[in-house]
Amino acid sequence: MKNQNKSARPKKSLSPAPSISVSENRGCHYGVHLDDAGIRLDRWFKRHHPSLPHALLAKLARTGRLRVDGRRVKLGDAVEAGQTISLPSLVESPRPQPHPISLGDENRLRDWVFYRDDAILALNKPSGLATQGGSKITRHIDGWLDGLRFGSAQRPRLVHRLDRDTSGVLIIGRTASAAAALAKAFHRRIVRKLYWALVCRPPDPSCGRMDRPLVKYGQPGQQRVVTGVEGHRAVTLYRTVETVSKRAAWLALEPLTGRTHQLRVHCAEQGCPIQGDQKYGDTTLFLGGSIAAKLHLHARALIVPHPDGGLLRLYAPLNDHMAASWRMLGFDSETALADFEPP
């Protein structure tokens, strides 16, 4: 195990990370456990005390009332095992407990694992299952991660996410240090991602670059993403692999940024909405017959720096409804990977 507790000196009275100690004068003190080593301070609070507002924590850090081992810190600083996080006495609502995973769901979850080593798990996430919880979402990958311990003392951690209706490669860190390294790689945009999509109308031109800024609007739970000059830059490379007359095309998409719903909005703005996209697509263009009206977007492959060195290439087979559409349209799913290799 790479992360070790380097401090053997006695600590002040510490409460376990998932709980909170409250006193009138002495404040709250938390010990950083080994499985949290290497994560940012703001993410530590989001993991263990999500009801504490980010703005409040930022103010406490800015005024020196949030400290680690007695030192002033920033919310972006990493914490290490054995350190003590201290802040003034606060009262917060109890953290909701996740629903325990059933034996059936655990078996299904493990069946989705197609790669595993000491640092990384890779799942072929099915369409229709959320990566994380939210309003009225109780079944999600994040809540089931205890089912992916495979004998490890540490609970695996998400390092990125896929939309609920998008299937494909989902990487999970098995240790705190691996998760931190993977999250850093995603943040630095050195992870290459390849998606496959079935679109309702071939794009013109057949390959190129979609470079349109995106912005969210609307209330949480009802948000939409649109293009707009005030938005964040979003860039997608695309290539047409095969077409069916002028009615449909198989696209290979490589997002260079990771904005919410980026591929779905970019394809719709390019005039080639994704089949089954009920939010951004055009239902009058949807392919009928035996082609499912479900979202046809699949995270087919990732090339990611492995925490232990080298590059790891991961390829996830198509989900059931997309595989059926590929067979129906005569697409050969073995032909589209040649262009997805490091330059």
| Catalytic machinery residues | 163
Q: Are 1 and 81 in contact (CB under 8 A)?
A: no
Per the listing, tokens 């999509």 go with 197
Q: What are phi and psi of 180, to 5 degrees?
A: -65, -40
Burial of 272 (0-12, 13-18, 19+ CB in 10 A): buried
How far is C-alpha 122 from the geometric centre of its chain's CA atoms? 12
Q: Long-range pairs for 325-334 at CB < 8 Å and ≥24 separation?
A: 325/198, 325/275, 325/287, 325/291, 325/292, 325/296, 326/250, 328/289, 328/290, 328/291, 329/198, 329/242, 329/244, 329/248, 329/250, 329/291, 330/244, 331/241, 331/242, 331/250
Q: Hey, is 236 helix, strand or coil?
A: strand
Per the listing, tokens 């996430």 go with 125
- Strands 297-305 and 167-173, sheet pairing: parallel
Start-end of H helices in 63-217? 103-111, 176-187
